[in-house]
Amino acid sequence: MAQLSYVSGSVGLITLQNPPVNVLSAATRQGIMESMKKALNDPKVKSVVICGQNGVFCAGADIKEFGPNISGPSIVPLIYDIEVANKPVVAAIEGSALGGGLELALTCHYRIAHSKTRLGLPEVTLGLLPGAGGTQLLPRLIGIPASLELITTGRHITAAEALQLGLVDHVTQSDTVDSAVKFALSVEGEPLDSRRISKRPCPHLPDLDAVFEAVMQKARALQYSFFAQRAVGRWSMPSGASWNTSKARPVHRAAVLGLGTMGRGITVALAQAGVSVVAVEIQEKQLNEAREHVYATLERGAQQSGVSPSCANITYSHDIQAVADVDLVIEAVLEDLSLKEKVFQQLSAICKPGTLLCSNTSSLDLNCLASQTKNPELVVGMHFFAPAHVMKLLEVVYGSKSSPEAVATAMQLGKKMGKISVAVGNCRGFVGNRMLKPYIEQSYFLLEEGATPELVDKALEEFGFPMGVFRMSDLSGLDVGWRVRKEDGLAEPVGTSGQITRLRGGRRYSPLGDILCEHGRFGQKTGLGWYQYGRPGGRVAKSDPWVFNLLEEYRARLGLTARPIDQQEVLERCLYSLINEGLCILEEGFASSPEDIDVIYVFGYGWPKHRGGPMFYASMVGLATVLERLDHYYRSNPDVPSLKPCKLLRQLVASGSPPVHKWKEITKKIQNRL
Ligand SMILES: CCC/C=C/C(=O)SCCNC(=O)CCNC(=O)[C@H](O)C(C)(C)COP(=O)([O-])OP(=O)([O-])OC[C@H]1O[C@@H](n2cnc3c(N)ncnc32)[C@H](O)[C@@H]1OP(=O)([O-])[O-]
């Protein structure tokens, strides 16, 4: 299970041989112990290299061995023997060095890693703490804050990050064992005391309490998020109807109408949930493409999960009459109000009595759709997020006439589909997209004032979003928002010369997004957006000098002077305006609790989970601080109403900034007065 061989005259090479990932089973530990002993006692051997066979260093302890009676040598004395060895020991790390595998590498005197290696202490994901010295050695090597982060998240890091942290001494692109052997030869006979990590003092930090407090805050945010996820299931409506007074109807057979990207994803998600689906698309070509796409997605999913695909549950039709006897319809046709109104009229005429009519609209007025039907109480929104079979979030939207039973049914169906469903009221953009609007608006204003897409995205990504606002907009397509702004009469042709008006409808408006679209830059799909992607459909964002020139010319045309903008301002303006909108939504009763908003943002919009969600984050930062900063920015930008602190924020601060779970007492009072 571990083999000693001799290379380059004086190097003892110990190879872990426990396929496939060289875990530290009893036999492997025994093998390492014996090989080390032999190498150290052999006068010919002047240095030792430890590696794993088949391109994997070691995936840690053998999880299958965990239990009350672990046999074989204990790992702790084994790694101690390596550290005290009087010959240099070099770890040649390839593939993975995880858990006990990384701890083994930490006891070596030097670490050489291949550039594709992943390293980490993932014990926390198994309910454990690193038990073979990791908690003691890592802080002495890379410092307390970085160690805390790695140990408490279990995150795997790349070799490049490990090098930057000082966790490995050298990263190679070529043969790792060769590099490690050469390195071992170069350090033979050198003193080893400074290389023994356990002998180093634990770093002293003047602000250690603050470091631990920050980690505790993350833990609190994760615990909050855990409970928030469950709390959203206990939904309520302004009428007082709620989850425990409303009974869901069974949905055995559902229809999906319109098989574009969203309709296909919804069909897959329903089929995977075991619901029989009637998939309707009037265009023959689109119908055939959808059939193939859905089939391939279900096949792939089945292969990954090891269950048989659920294709038998789906029937396809190009005739809308096929929905006549289903229990529930999800409409997913183009986002065009008059088209959707027509579809709802048809559905109301065709479907059997009692069929629930749902729309996947992301922003249109649900009441308009309901008013086209004989039974508006049977109409609700089911707003899925793309790709609909992957994304966890579902906004279930109730209109002014939706019955509690309809909401309960959509919520239960969402649960059956493995979604985290949140019941929300019918306002423009519902909860998620409504809050996104001021966030995006601020990012445009920041560009006008001197920022770049890179600067804004960097601040947001360092905060924890997987993508900053501009990279995210390029991914979802800039033309979508452009179409909506044109329909709203906001986006006017800008052209290359002439006057640009920044005040529209009495409030500041930035036409920067419209200008990009006028140039055919719709984001990744056209290969050009706020960044360049090399080709249509490209994924890797690169800075684009064209955008910098555009921003300079634009500022010159408007007589704006660029000023330095720091990350703090980016975060405050983008995040606090989004938070303010969330508080308005609570104040107006379109969300029933801060947990609803936070779950929507964490599961639908990439808000970092360890920051709880926008409402939780606001309470962590301090509501008084959020209020003070919004007041400050609103004073200097009075034509930007989204920066004006809402009434609820003022009231919460006046009530002593209670923790999130106590906000309901105040929001209820305001909502009752509505
Ligand atoms: C006191 C000491 C304290 C130490 C504590 C620890 O180290 S705690 C441990 C901390 N370490 C971890 O948590 C690391 C957990 N492992 C991983 O993250 C991944 O396996 C990987 C990234 C190493 C390789 O990914 P990949 O997609 O290339 O491959 P794959 O995932 O398909 O695995 C291949 C086969 O190996 C098996 N197997 C794997 N690891 C272990 C294990 N530790 N044990 C047993 N078996 C393990 C896996 O079940 C599979 O078996 P199958 O189905 O073929 O019979």
Q: Which residue is listed with tokens 């009441």?
A: 367
Tell me what the mean pLDDT of segment 372-388 comes to.
96
Q: Considering 498, 528, 558, which residue would you say is the last residue of a domain? A: 558
We report the CATH number of the domain holding residue 313 as 3.40.50.720
Assigned token pair, 260: 């574009």
Contact 220, 593 (CB under 8 A): no
Evaluate: CB of 122 within 6 angstroms of ligand 1.
Answer: yes
**Same structural domain, 536 and 605:** no
pLDDT of residue 498: 61
C-alpha of residue 21 to centroid of ligand 1, in Å: 7
Q: Is the pLDDT of residue 645 over 70?
A: yes
Evaluate: CB of 96 within 6 angstroms of ligand 1.
Answer: yes
Contact 125, 83 (CB under 8 A): no
Phi-psi region of 661 (alpha: psi -120 to 50; beta: other; left: phi over 0): alpha
SS (HEC) of 426-469: CCCCCCHHHHHHHHHHHHHHHHHHCCCHHHHHHHHHHHCCCCCH
Contact 181, 51 (CB under 8 A): no
Q: Considering 386, 411, 427, which residue would you say is the last residue of a domain? A: 427
103 is catalytic: yes
Of the pLDDT bands very low, low, confident and very high (cuts 50, 70, 90), residue 598 is very high
The verdict on residue 218 lying in a domain is no
Q: Which of 83, 94, 103, 581 is catalytic?
A: 103
Q: Quote the domain boundaries for residue 464.
A: 451-558
**Same structural domain, 169 and 26:** yes
Convert the pLDDT of each residue in 120-145 to its tens digit.
Answer: 999 999 989 999 999 999 999 999 99
Q: Is the pLDDT of residue 159 over 70?
A: yes
**Same structural domain, 26 and 108:** yes
pLDDT of residue 496: 60
Of the pLDDT bands very low, low, confident and very high (cuts 50, 70, 90), residue 263 is very high
- 656 contacts: CB under 8 Å, gap ≥ 6: none
Q: Is the pLDDT of residue 294 over 90?
A: yes
| Sheet-wide strand order for 393-398 | 314-317, 276-280, 253-257, 328-331, 356-359, 379-384, 393-398, 420-425
pLDDT of residue 497: 60
Which of 3-17, 216-230, 630-644 has the least mean pLDDT? 216-230
Measured distance CA(289)–CA(309) in Å, rounded: 18
Pairing of the two strands 507-508 and 96-98:
unpaired
Convert the pLDDT of each residue in 403-461 to its tens digit.
Answer: 999 999 999 999 999 999 999 999 999 999 999 999 999 999 999 999 999 999 999 99
- Angle of CA points 243, 249, 253, to nearest 5°: 135
The verdict on residue 270 lying in a domain is yes
Nearest to 332 by CA among 371, 354, 362: 362
Q: ipTM score here?
A: 0.98
Of the pLDDT bands very low, low, confident and very high (cuts 50, 70, 90), residue 492 is confident
Residue of 23, 24, 63, 74 to mutate, ligand 1, most atoms within 8 A of C-beta:
63
**Same structural domain, 586 and 532:** no
The verdict on residue 91 lying in a domain is yes
Atom of ligand 1 nearest to the CA of 75: 1
**Same structural domain, 406 and 512:** no
Contact 52, 97 (CB under 8 A): no
Tell me what the mean pLDDT of segment 525-547 comes to.
96
C-alpha of residue 183 to centroid of ligand 1, in Å: 29
Tell me what the mean pLDDT of segment 618-632 comes to.
97
**Same structural domain, 104 and 188:** yes
Evaluate: CB of 23 within 6 angstroms of ligand 1.
Answer: yes
Atom of ligand 1 nearest to the CA of 64: 45
Evaluate: CB of 61 within 6 angstroms of ligand 1.
Answer: yes
Q: Which residues pair with 51 in a beta bridge?
A: 15
Tell me what the mean pLDDT of segment 380-392 comes to.
95
Evaluate: CB of 208 within 6 angstroms of ligand 1.
Answer: no
Q: Which residue is listed with tokens 């360890």?
A: 610
Measured from the Cβ of residue 483, the count of other Cβ atoms closer than 10 Å reads 14
Q: Is the pLDDT of residue 635 over 80?
A: yes
Tell me what the mean pLDDT of segment 75-104 comes to.
96
**Same structural domain, 463 and 416:** no
Q: Is the pLDDT of residue 309 over 80?
A: no
Q: How many residues does the chain have?
A: 674
In percent, how much of the chain has pLDDT > 70?
98
Q: Where are the alpha helices (DSSP H) in 85-233?
A: 100-107, 134-142, 144-153, 159-165, 176-187, 208-231
The verdict on residue 502 lying in a domain is yes
Tell me what the mean pLDDT of segment 592-602 comes to.
97
The verdict on residue 432 lying in a domain is no
pLDDT of residue 618: 98
Pairing of the two strands 503-504 and 507-508:
antiparallel
Q: Which of 34, 65, 94, 123 is catalytic?
A: 123
**Same structural domain, 467 and 397:** no
Evaluate: CB of 104 within 6 angstroms of ligand 1.
Answer: no
Q: Considering 393, 427, 461, which residue would you say is the last residue of a domain? A: 427
**Same structural domain, 184 and 67:** yes
Query: What is the domain count for the chain?
Result: 4
The verdict on residue 52 lying in a domain is yes
User: What does pTM read for this prediction?
Assistant: 0.79
The verdict on residue 243 lying in a domain is no
C-alpha of residue 1 to centroid of ligand 1, in Å: 16
We report the CATH number of the domain holding residue 13 as 3.90.226.10
Mean pLDDT taken over the chain = 94
484 vs 268, residue with greater confidence: 268
The verdict on residue 289 lying in a domain is yes
Residue of 21, 119, 124 to mutate, ligand 1, most atoms within 8 A of C-beta:
21
Q: Is the pLDDT of residue 501 over 80?
A: no
We report the CATH number of the domain holding residue 655 as 1.10.1040.10
Convert the pLDDT of each residue in 191-234 to its tens digit.
Answer: 999 999 999 998 888 888 998 888 888 899 989 999 999 999 99
Q: Is the pLDDT of residue 505 over 90?
A: no
**Same structural domain, 381 and 455:** no
pLDDT of residue 673: 64
**Same structural domain, 33 and 148:** yes
pLDDT of residue 467: 96
Evaluate: CB of 60 within 6 angstroms of ligand 1.
Answer: yes
**Same structural domain, 633 and 547:** no
Evaluate: CB of 14 within 6 angstroms of ligand 1.
Answer: no
518 is catalytic: no
Q: Is the pLDDT of residue 514 over 90?
A: yes
- 29 contacts: CB under 8 Å, gap ≥ 6: 72, 73, 74, 75, 78
